[in-house]
Amino acid sequence: DAGITQSPRHKVTETGTPVTLRCHQTENHRYMYWYRQDPGHGLRLIHYSYGVKDTDKGEVSDGYSVSRSKTEDFLLTLESATSSQTSVYFCAISENSGNTIYFGEGSWLTVV
């Protein structure tokens, strides 16, 4: 199994509060990603990083920000949580080449 740790694994928060999800990898992979998974939508890319302090938007980035201060850590922040952000969030990593993506175990977020 790829060494990817997500925290917290489960969280319930109130609308309007900021939330930060953490992803830590031990594989020294260059690329890191945050996806959200919702029924009927598969996985949708929120943001990705291709190196320390190098990040870019995915297809559903509104309302989210990310930071990567170290190779091994990638943080996803919901600036002001909304009910539409209730989802399962997956961190993933990939090497420079080959394009195989390895996933973490997921973080279940409920916004009430």
Determine the interface stretch with other proteins among 17-25, 68-76, 77-85, 94-102 (rule: CB under 8 A): 94-102
How far apart are alpha carbons 6 and 1 in whole angstroms?
14
Q: Is 33 in the site for other proteins (CB under 8 A)?
A: yes
Confirm or reject binding of residue 42 to other proteins (CB under 8 A): yes
Considering only residues 56, 69, 70, 82, which one is a binding residue for other proteins as defined by CB under 8 A? 56
Q: Closest by alpha carbon to 38, among 88, 92, 91?
A: 88
- To the nearest 10°, the Cα dihedral for 8, 95, 52, 1? 20
Pairing of the two strands 107-111 and 10-13:
parallel
Residue closer to other proteins, measured from CB, 16 or 51: 51
> Closest CB to other proteins among 35 and 72?
35
> Which residues of the chain form contacts with other proteins (CB under 8 A)?
4, 31, 33, 40-45, 48, 50, 56, 58, 90, 94, 98-106
